[in-house]
Amino acid sequence: MALRVGVVGGGQLARMMIAPAVELGIEIEVLAEERGMAARLAAGSVGDYTDIATVLAFARDVDVVTFDHEHVPQQVLRTLVAEGVAVHPGPDALQFAQDKLLMRARLEELGMPQPDWASVSDAEQLQDFLDAHGGRAVVKTPRGGYDGKGVRVVDAATEAEDWFAALAEDARGGSLLVEEFVPFTRELAQQVARRASGEVRAYPVVETVQRDGVCAEVFAPAPRAGERLRDAAARIGIAIAEGLGVTGMLAVELFETTDDRILVNELAMRPHNSGHWTQDGAVTSQFEQHLRAVLDLPLGDPSPRQPWAVMVNILGGPAQGGLESRFASAMAAHPSVKLHTYGKAPRPGRKVGHVNATGDDLEDIVYDARAAAALFAD
């Protein structure tokens, strides 16, 4: 009988797991918030991932439950595990991707390099941290942030007053995370796959470029990365995957600092935008690797197929007509670029697709990928 994977969340990450699942003959079902994107292509249902009964009913039909996002509440995850459902990554690991304060505390225990940080519950504590760190810091809501939402650079504690006020109104109370402002020269990402029986595989560390808090481009492997940097990043990724017991794909977002250190920014326990290049640039894509890992199958080779790969996100899309209205021009002008679109309606700033290019000459493929992606913008 075919292996069956259930993915909670019907976004582009679930959608991009479908192609390798089809190739391997793995049945994939999606519990989506709404029809569209992944739900249009895979079996499954539409329902609320915060509702225990809904998620349990979904889980009954599959061999393993995994995720397209990190928002499934711990209580739901723990109920699944108690009912005997295989959940990968499991709740004990996933909590560190759900709550940045928990993550900072655990990474400290593991001895991972990271920015100075503190948990602050009022403006006075934040001001103390600012005073001790040169007057500038980054305040983050521990839960629910993404694409830069829930992250604010502050020079005075008053700039986070609204967030403290919101905490005061929340019956559960809580704290904000504050971090030193890291003067980074660039951002990197290290991906690692780990399966339940322990095998781990590290992808090459990549450089990610963020614009307005959103990933815009990825260069793989990271240019100007010597052996020391590559090894350090891989070691950090593997130590976190093992230390937190991650099963499936892990992405570790890193800062490279002006004094050549790398510090952990945050974690994602699922396929990640920094790994979309692997679809066309690696022997095993991150989406296939995630399926293998959550099914506890032997992992595939994460090596690059070409010296360089670049990924450029298509953000927004054409104001008039769908992405398809630009297919002919993009395909005609850039036949060696691989187009990926997510079946989403264009909207300013929204991730609606990406292009991948691979080859020997980084400058050439960057030019090609940017030019192709630009044909989808207005």
Binding positions for ligand ADP, rule: CB under 6 A: 115, 138, 140, 145-151, 179, 181-182, 187, 210, 213, 253, 265-266
What is the C-alpha to C-alpha distance for residues 219 and 209, in angstroms, rounded to an integer? 9
Closest CA to 166 of 128, 117, 122, 119: 122
CB of 374 to ligand ADP, least distance (A): 23
Nearer to ligand ADP, 126 or 200 (CB): 126
Nearer to ligand ADP, 45 or 125 (CB): 125
Nearer to ligand ADP, 80 or 182 (CB): 182
What is the C-alpha to C-alpha distance for residues 23 and 335, in angstroms, rounded to an integer? 24
CB of 123 to ligand ADP, least distance (A): 19
> Which amino acid is located at 27 in the chain?
E
Nearer to ligand ADP, 146 or 345 (CB): 146
CB of 140 to ligand ADP, least distance (A): 6
CB of 115 to ligand ADP, least distance (A): 5
* Contact (Cβ atoms closer than 8 angstroms) between residue 21 and residue 5: yes
What is the C-alpha to C-alpha distance for residues 42 and 28, in angstroms, rounded to an integer? 6
Nearer to ligand ADP, 64 or 249 (CB): 249
> Quick count: other Cβ atoms within 10 Å of Cβ 184?
17
CB of 365 to ligand ADP, least distance (A): 24
207 beta partners: 188, 219
Nearer to ligand ADP, 47 or 145 (CB): 145
Structure tokens at 171: 């019956």
Nearer to ligand ADP, 8 or 151 (CB): 151
CB of 66 to ligand ADP, least distance (A): 20
Peptide bond into 89 cis (omega under 30): yes
Distances (CA, A) of 137 to 76, 160, 285, 341: 34, 11, 37, 37
Provide the angle, in degrees to the nearest 10, between the axes of the packed helices 123-132 and 161-169. Answer: 140
> Quick count: other Cβ atoms within 10 Å of Cβ 367?
14
CB of 180 to ligand ADP, least distance (A): 6
* Alpha-carbon torsion, ordered 283, 288, 289, 290, to 10 deg: 160
